[in-house]
Amino acid sequence: MIIHMVDGATPDQTQRVIDRITEEYGLPCETIVSATTVIGVKGITSYVDEGRILELPGVERVIRITEKYKDASRNFHHEDTVVDVHGVRFGGDTLTVVGGPCAIESEEQALASARMARAAGVDVLRTFVDKSRTSPYDYRGLPIEQGLELAAAMKAETGLPTVSELIDIRHLDAFLRSGIDIIQVGARSAQYSPLLEELARLDVPVILKHGFGNDMDEWLSAAAYIMSGLDREGRSVGIGNRKVILCYRGIKSFETETRFSADIGMIPTVRSRSHLPLLADPSHSSGDRALVERVAYGFVAAGAQGLELDIHANPEEALVDGRQAVSHEARRIVDNARAIHATLSGVGIETGTFAPATGGDGT
């Protein structure tokens, strides 16, 4: 629910509305100040009496948000959210590149891949310790503590912030102690609500991918789990984790020529519906390093605010997803992606759609 205050509404009038919502209905509010003051009401708002709100001085109108993902909705938060990770910005007009090996396999492989990723110009280093695999006979990573030690070594070697996928809630404390800067939620965990609710209690950035068969509403609803800080009854149990970054990676379909089917139209669609930073993963969506480069450029041209790349020092010997990993060509991909982003920097979100880029002469 969104409550619009009239132009010139006083702080006391705004506070009186917030007090009525919190005291009578026990729902948390968020004040958004732009041209006019807007109050966002979170939780289960179906039993809120609109008349009781409209009768208060300074209230212009009450709007019920129909999306199930209120916190992640652009209707709830009009401006792009920017998540800062030790000086690295996700969102806004920045193109942020995350890269590194799909899994840590050994000290030599981890450090060599980390150095290659840094040389390619990535902003954040992938240091994936635990792997969720389809088959129990596939490589699933080193023992957690050993993997986290190597992740810390990769961070020390490059000086870059790190991201690692968390699969098991029992490993959360170990991840936080080891200095992992961003926690990633992978496709197989994207709708595991206990994990999402646990991440809502943290002040740690989260990259959220979507499940193999999730539509946009399901994906953004998963983001709202992390952001809302609500319990099962819709009551606030905390402020929620606002540092959510989306990552698009395609879904499973009947097509078999690429690993997953990636709809390029999802990029501008998600950006028009959500204020959250949006990355795209050309490695997992294509599944073939021969396709990764062109797919990456397509994502950036469509409006993705960043990329996540599998970068491996020796893809032919990789234990996980070597076929889709890039190596020495990563530098070219990153440079060209940044050039495409700079060329199209005039294309932005306006009233829910991409506006055409125009030059100084109006063309």
pLDDT digits over 290-335, tens only? 999 999 999 999 999 999 999 999 999 889 888 889 999 999 999 9
Residue 192, number of CB atoms within 10 A of its CB: 17
Residue 229 has which token pair? Answer: 């800080």
Q: Chain-centre distance of CA 62, in angstroms? A: 29
Pick the range with the lowest mean pLDDT from 44-53, 188-197, 231-240, 248-257.
231-240
SS3 sequence of 38-70: EEEECCCCCCCCHHHHHCCCCEEEEECCCCCCH
- Of residues 76 and 92, more confidence is placed in 92
More confident residue, 252 or 332: 332
What's the confidence (pLDDT) of residue 126?
Answer: 96
In three-state form (DSSP H/G/I as H, E/B as E, the rest C), the secondary structure along the chain is CEEEECCCCCHHHHHHHHHHHHHHHCCCEEEEECCCEEEEECCCCCCCCHHHHHCCCCEEEEECCCCCCHHHECCCCCCCCCEEECCEEECCCCCEEEEECCCCCCHHHHHHHHHHHHHHCCCEEECCCCCCCCCCCCCCCCCHHHHHHHHHHHHHHHCCCEEEECCCHHHHHHHHHHCCCEEEECHHHCCCHHHHHHHCCCCCCEEEECCCCCCHHHHHHHHHHHHHCECCCCCECCCCCCCEEEEECCECCCCCCCCCECCCCHHHHHHHHECCCEEECHHHHHCCHHHHHHHHHHHHHHCCCEEEEEECCCHHHCCCCHHHCECCCHHHHHHHHHHHHHHCCCCCEECCEECCCCCCCCC
Calpha distance 358→111 (Å, rounded) = 44
56 and 120 assigned to the same domain: no
Question: Measured between alpha carbons, how far is 335 from 319 in angstroms, rounded to an integer?
Answer: 28
Q: Do residues 41 and 94 share a domain?
A: no
**Confidence band of 348 (pLDDT split at 50, 70, 90):** low
pLDDT band at 77 (very low <50, low <70, confident <90, very high): confident
95 domain residue, yes or no: yes
Q: Does a structural domain hold residue 76? A: no
353 has a pLDDT exceeding 60: no
- The whole-number pLDDT of residue 362 equals 34
Burial of 21 (0-12, 13-18, 19+ CB in 10 A): buried
Residue 183: inside a domain? yes
Q: Look at residue 74 and tell me if it is in a domain.
A: no
Residues 154 and 301 in one domain: yes
Q: Which of 44 and 164 is assigned the larger pLDDT?
A: 164
Please check whether residue 323 is in contact with residue 284, taking contact to mean a CB–CB distance below 8 angstroms.
no
Q: Are 107 and 99 in contact (CB under 8 A)?
A: no
Residue 226 in any domain: the answer is: yes
pLDDT over 80 at 244, yes or no: yes
Would 359 be classed as within a structural domain?
no
**The pLDDT of residue 253:** 86
**In a domain? residue 71:** no
- Looking at the structure, tell me whether residues 102 and 11 fall in a common domain: no
205 & 58 share domain: no
Indicate whether 150 and 241 sit together in one domain.
Answer: yes
- Segments forming the whole domain that contains residue 92: 83-350
356 in a structural domain: no
Task: Indicate the length of the chain as a whole number.
Answer: 363
Same domain? For 179 and 263 the reply is yes
> Are residues 130 and 249 both part of a single domain?
yes
Q: 271 and 146 in one domain?
A: yes
Assess whether 227 and 268 both reside in one domain: yes
Is the pTM here over 0.85, yes or no? no
Q: Is the pLDDT of residue 112 over 90?
A: yes
- C-alpha span between 148 and 175 (Å, rounded): 7
pLDDT band at 66 (very low <50, low <70, confident <90, very high): low
**Nearby residues of 109 by Cβ (< 8 Å), 6 or more positions away:** 101, 312, 313, 314
User: What is the mean predicted confidence (pLDDT) over 95-106?
Assistant: 95
Would you report the helix, strand and coil content of the chain in percent, each value rounded to 5?
A: 35, 20, 45
State how many domains the chain has: 2
Residues 237-247 have a mean pLDDT of 86
Q: Is 214 helix (H, G, I), strand (E, B) or coil?
A: coil
Last residue of a domain, one of 35, 64, 93: 64
Given 10, 31, 64, the domain boundary residue is 64
Inform me whether the pLDDT recorded for 351 exceeds 80.
Answer: no
Q: Report the C-alpha gap between 201 and 229 in whole angstroms.
A: 7
pLDDT for residue 262 is more than 90: no
**Greatest mean pLDDT range, 133-147, 240-254, 342-356:** 240-254
Token output for 199:
């991440």
Q: What is the CATH number of the domain that holds 136?
A: 3.20.20.70
Q: Following CA atoms 137, 143, 146, 150 in sequence, which dihedral angle do they give, to the nearest 10 degrees?
A: 40
Verify that 96 and 234 share a domain, yes or no. yes
Same domain, 25 and 160: no
**Mean pLDDT, the chain, integer:** 88
Cα–Cα distance measured from residue 167 to residue 189, given in angstroms and rounded to the nearest whole number: 7
**pLDDT tens track for 146-186:** 999 999 999 999 999 999 999 999 999 999 999 999 999 99
C-alpha span between 157 and 210 (Å, rounded): 31
CATH number for the domain harbouring residue 59: 3.30.70.1140
Q: Could you report the per-residue pLDDT of 267-287, keeping only the tens digit for each? A: 999 999 999 999 999 999 988
